[in-house]
Structure 1
Amino acid sequence: MTKTRDHGGNLDAAMVRLGGTPGEWLDLSTGINPMPYPLPPIPPESWAVLPRGTDMARLSDSAAAAYATSARVIPMAGAQGAIQIVPWLRTPGRAAVQGPTYNEHAAALRACGWQVSEVAHLEALSGADLAVVVNPNNPDGRRHAPERLSALAATVGLLIVDESFADPDPDVSLAPGEVPDNVVVLRSFGKFYGLAGLRLGFALANGTLADRLAEMAGPWPVSGPAIEIACHALADPDWQAQTIAKLTEGAARLDAMARRAGWDLVGGTPLFRTYAAPDAAAAQNTLAGHRVWSRIFPYSDRWIRLGLPQDTRWRQLDTAMEAARCT
């Protein structure tokens, strides 16, 4: 039997257990921006024809400019699409993942025959045939300076740096520097731009590694409408700056609520916050009683993660957090 992978975004399961409708629930179990990029006009042709090579090149160039990178940018069906490809880039051997972290990395590697171990410290990744670092990390927001990751790359066979939550914190990104030939940088479009349904992400790499990624992604890894939307969004620095400021303000507001509830900040990014509560499962149940869905973790009985709500739903969250303070 296939083991179910533990994820946020599982509101369906919450509704089966607790009732309610999607409109009643405030789903904060993911780290997706609740203020999505406003959709631009989409040419009808984008729906009707396969993306051309020039369209794909336009998307790659837009992403390269947005991420300030000289590496080759390969569009993918979400960062998850790249995660599924990574295990096939080398012959399976010994992989090490710095954890705890997003569990799809280890799961995808194991499914393809890799021997996977989870390590706590960056230095313990040294010597692995393939190493994975999520930077900033999900769920605790742990960060590593780009120089440390470049140094780590020299000690492993292949280094995967997942920067899915790096958009609000560009200084942490490895992309603007010289991306080593044995490094793949993963970027998510949907999380920061609040359009996860587009299923768009990017893999940044150089040389034969980039060639291999492009070959395995295939000629049409993303849709025409996704290309049009992303090219607008990636070239909109004013929206990006305003959104980073608003997310940062929202994260501080959420931290203040958590402090009043007696929770300690573990870490996070402007897109999500992880706290230590006395009893994470009890806290989740209390919030759920007010139709607020959160994320807890099988490896910790205290950690609880919350994304940010839409502007119109802060009152619902405040009421739920007030109830959590009283339990």
Structure 2
Amino acid sequence: MKQNQNLREDEQKFRIIFDNSIEGLILWNEANQIVDINGSAEKIFGLPKDRLLGQSLLDLFNQVGEKKQEIINHIEQVTKKGEQYSTIVIKWNDGRLRHFDYSTKRGILEGLNLTVIIDVTEKADMQEQLRKSERLNIIGELAAGIAHEIRNPMTALKGFIQLLEPSIRAEHSMYYDVITSELARIDSIINEFLILAKPQEIRFTEKDICQIMRETVDLLSAQAVLYNVQFSTFYEDFLPSIFCEPNQLKKVFINLIKNAIEVMPSGGTITIKINQFDDQFIQISIRDTGIGIPKEKLNKLGEPFYTTKETGNGLGLMVSYRIIEEHNGYIHVESEEGIGTIFKIVLPYRHES
């Protein structure tokens, strides 16, 4: 009698632990059918328990992404070794990629196996940001050496070209203009290299982020007209001022808006929104209605010399990432081919050293 009571108590304890675990738990039998699933697993898959019970474990993952073979391999290893740890990346129906760690123990109860699944998407995103930051630091070190090596002869070239200007004949003036404009372009690239090379000595002041964006939009309005592009702006009222270097942020906004204009050669709309994000951040989003960026190329944005434009060099976006990083913020990009791209910049109210 006491043994039965102890058994019931153990079952109740197991049920409490199972139901309230913050990790997704799935109990399944030797026929790969789901016998039980807890609330955390329901949230992970976005499906109710009554719809999942009795389903095959393979079908569960197949509903959110074509990952049947990976699950088959996982189950085979469980059968051989009794347990297995795996990771999986699933593309959800809304296009988002989600990362999961999951492990299975065979025979946790008689005829039953237990799979524990954890959503590690946020951790994976942070690791990707760290890798991108490390790549920026490496290219920054290379950029410092390249920029200084090029700048010295550049200074001499610019000086001698200016000395030659009075003696240049009228029929050769076009050559002079091409040379000076190309030298100016090289100088601009060198300056961007130097921004990448090291954090700039900049002074942070308290500024209205909406005013900085207004000035940027005014600056680029003429170029937008040439491309038949219209601006649509939404600035949330009563936003707090942020500590920033306004000229540096303006450079980021110019880079992103110019890119948005250039990906819509036949015209379109650029939607700019500034709003409070969470309790300590402001979000600036810049959306275009261009051709969009393929999913496989999104993660490469901001990498050294990577660009989706035929005439681009990738430095503008690299510089933008660097500047936002120096402001303790981050840039998140979403895109859908044929619909457009949105750059989201998240900045804290206050800059911490």
Same fold (TM over 0.5): no
Higher alpha-carbon Rg = 2
- Which category of TM-score, normalised to the shorter sequence, fits these structures? under 0.3
Higher fraction of helix: 2
Q: TM-score, normalising length from structure 2?
A: 0.22
**Larger relative strand fraction:** 2
